Amino acid sequence: MINSDTSMVNVASNVAHFFDEEGCGKCSICREGTRRAAEILSRFSRGQGNRNELEWLLELHEVMKDTASCGLGQVALNVAASAIRNFKGEFLAQVRRRKAYGYAKC
């Protein structure tokens, strides 16, 4: 269940991992795109992402939506893109918190 206490960073990461695991791997944009998105969103879950990666994920979402061979690939990053657009501050705050406590690598 998703409520006001739910981390949208973790939701986006979990959904990206689901699509990475469930994709058939036939088209390279979906295979590589979902793998890379899952890696980046996992980094954000650990407080290690950056603003440029968020913008890159939004661009990747558009490319996958337009070029993936099947419906799964076309929608694989919908949750991530929506979370980034609507909760960008939460993504960036998680990184700031980790850095403030000295957890993130330099």
Q: What is the pLDDT of residues 51-94, one digit of tens each?
A: 999 999 999 999 999 999 999 999 999 999 999 999 999 999 98
Look at residues 50, 64, 88, 48 and name the one whose alpha carbon lies nearest to residue 16: 64
Euclidean distance between CA atoms 35 and 29, whole angstroms? 10
Pick the CATH number of 8-100 from 3.20.20.220, 1.10.1840.10, 1.20.1440.230, 3.30.420.10: 1.20.1440.230
Euclidean distance between CA atoms 86 and 5, whole angstroms? 15
Euclidean distance between CA atoms 97 and 19, whole angstroms? 28
Report which of residues 5 and 78 the model is more confident about.
Answer: 78
Look at residues 24, 36, 49, 38 and name the one whose alpha carbon lies nearest to residue 105: 49
pTM: 0.85
Residues 6+ apart with CB under 8 A from 88: 54
Euclidean distance between CA atoms 13 and 42, whole angstroms? 6
**Residue type, position 37, single letter:** A
